[in-house]
């Protein structure tokens, strides 16, 4: 009996970590399924994953490349799985249903569901609350499909586009692969506010074709430090949704300087965001150039955080710079830590943010 308990004690830790790692064949299958459905428009699951991957920044600035080959980026794959779990309301059975709807191989569904549940079950409440808040605030598109009416008894529902929104099946079809059917979601505002789609544009003519000549002007532009960097194409000038785009042979610079913008940006960074939010999303504190000096207020180093190496450049400002004593503590030729107490007291927020992508 003692030997049995000793054996059990040795095995339990192994069982507890059985799903600590995702098997390569399972990861490959999920990656291929996402790549297959990602380009399909109006797909409920993909809309949610796309918006959450972009909002969180987990997909980087080149979101399309990431989502069509998740297997190359394990961190991005884990993020996509977490958001699929969130989309499934952190419910194992719903998650399994959604994995089947994505047509994963049947022998990969349960191992993947177990891996996801074990990894993110402790975050369930936070994920559910976040989803509800984002839907309520309009940050996320409500992709809840309308109730599917029962199909006629004499004919099958015609299906022309593969989608991950379920349709009802007769009992004879239960052993076949899931049927996929499109669901169209009507959005009142037809403007494409997804910044990741601007990153795909490589020529000014493409920008004009997308947003209209009447909504674009060409004007002089400065970098975050105030230096002249030539001319930029300004979309929706002199509005809250104004953005600047600079094209050159090897890169694009997309800059935001307006508050209350409708644009959905990588990592969810917005002008006016508090310092605490940057720290939270970056995952650690960072260093800022002292104010009123060369490159003053610009983040000097993300210190290996989530923004590091992702082409994210941020200019900060102090809303309470009138407090001279405090302001002097974070000014001049020094690198200031973001957790400096003076930074919080001065109400430091995002003033401008630029995203740089390389072609």
pLDDT tens by residue, 104-162: 998 999 999 999 999 999 999 999 998 998 888 776 776 654 444 444 444 444 444 44
Distance CA 95, CA 110 (A): 10
Q: Does 242 map to a domain?
A: yes
* pLDDT value, residue 168: 42
CATH number of the CATH domain containing 355: 2.60.460
State the DSSP H helix or E strand holding residue 136, giving kind and residue range, or none if neither: helix 124-137
In the block, tokens 């544009």 appear at: 201
Same-domain check for residues 115 and 208: no
pLDDT digits (tens, 9 = 90+) for 47-78: 899 888 887 778 777 788 888 899 888 888 99
Is 154 inside any structural domain? Answer: no
56 and 201 share one domain: no
CA–CA dist 46, 352 (Å, integer): 30
Q: Do 109 and 223 reside in the same domain of the chain?
A: no
Write down the pLDDT at residue 125: 92
Q: Which of 85, 116, 136 is the last residue of a domain?
A: 136
216 and 354 part of one domain: yes
| pLDDT at 175 (0 to 100) | 40
Specify the pLDDT at position 154: 43
Q: Which of 55, 59, 91 is nearest to 75 (CA)?
A: 59
Tell me what pLDDT residue 139 has.
Answer: 63
- Give me the number of domains the chain comprises: 2
The residues of the chain scoring below 50 in pLDDT are 4-5, 7-8, 12-19, 145-162, 165-187
Q: Tell me: the pLDDT tens digits for 184-195? A: 333 355 788 888
From 92, 115, 136, give the residue that closes a domain: 136
Q: How many CB atoms lie within 10 A of CB 20?
A: 9
Q: Which domain holds residue 246?
A: 197-359
Same domain, 351 and 213: yes
347 in a structural domain: yes
Q: What is the mean pLDDT of the chain?
A: 82
- Position 36 in a domain: yes
The answer on 101 and 32 residing in a single domain is: yes
In this structure, how many other beta carbons lie within 10 angstroms of the beta carbon of residue 104? 20
| Residue 330 forms part of a structural domain | yes
- 208 and 129 within one domain: no
Residue 194 CB partners (closer than 8 Å, separation 6+): 54, 263, 264
Residues 219 and 357 in one domain: yes
Domain presence at residue 70: yes
Q: Which pLDDT score, from 0 to 100, does residue 25 have?
A: 92
* Residue 183: inside a domain: no
Residues 128 and 256 in one domain: no
Are residues 328 and 207 part of one domain? yes
Say how far apart CA 31 and CA 192 lie, in whole Å. 26
Residue that terminates a domain, selected from 136, 158, 176: 136
């Amino acid at each position: 009996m003692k030997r049995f308990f000793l054996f059990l004690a040795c095995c339990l830790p192994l069982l507890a970590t059985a799903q600590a790692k995702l098997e390569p064949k399972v990861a490959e299958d999920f990656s291929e399924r996402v790549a297959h459905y990602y380009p399909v428009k109006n797909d409920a699951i993909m809309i949610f994953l796309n918006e959450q991957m972009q909002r969180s920044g987990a997909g980087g600035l080149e979101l399309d490349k990431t989502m069509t080959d998740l297997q190359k980026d394990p961190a991005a794959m884990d993020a996509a799985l977490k958001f699929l779990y969130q989309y499934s309301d952190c419910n194992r059975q719903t998650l399994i249903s959604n994995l089947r709807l994505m047509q994963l191989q049947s022998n990969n569904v349960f191992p993947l569901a177990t891996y996801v549940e074990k990894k993110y079950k402790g975050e369930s409440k936070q994920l559910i609350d976040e989803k509800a808040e984002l839907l309520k605030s309009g940050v996320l598109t409500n992709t809840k499909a309308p109730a599917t009416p029962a199909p006629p008894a004499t004919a099958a529902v015609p299906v022309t586009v593969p989608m991950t929104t379920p349709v009802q099946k007769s009992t004879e079809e239960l052993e076949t692969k899931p049927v996929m059917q499109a669901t169209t979601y009507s959005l009142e505002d037809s403007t494409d506010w997804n910044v990741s789609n601007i990153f795909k544009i490589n020529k000014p003519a493409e920008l004009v074709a997308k947003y209209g000549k009447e909504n674009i002007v060409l004007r002089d532009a400065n970098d975050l430090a105030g230096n002249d960097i030539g001319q930029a194409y300004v979309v929706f000038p002199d509005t809250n949704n104004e953005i600047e785009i600079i094209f050159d042979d090897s890169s694009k610079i997309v800059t935001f300087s307006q508050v209350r913008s409708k644009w959905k940006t990588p990592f969810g960074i917005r002008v006016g965001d508090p310092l605490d939010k940057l720290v939270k999303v970056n995952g650690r504190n960072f260093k800022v150039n002292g104010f009123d000096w060369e490159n003053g207020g610009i983040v000097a180093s993300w210190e290996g955080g989530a923004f590091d190496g992702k082409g994210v450049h941020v200019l900060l400002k102090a809303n309470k710079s009138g407090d001279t004593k405090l302001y002097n503590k974070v000014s001049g030729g020094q690198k200031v830590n973001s957790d400096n107490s003076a930074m919080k007291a001065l109400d430091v927020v995002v003033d401008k943010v630029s995203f740089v992508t390389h072609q």
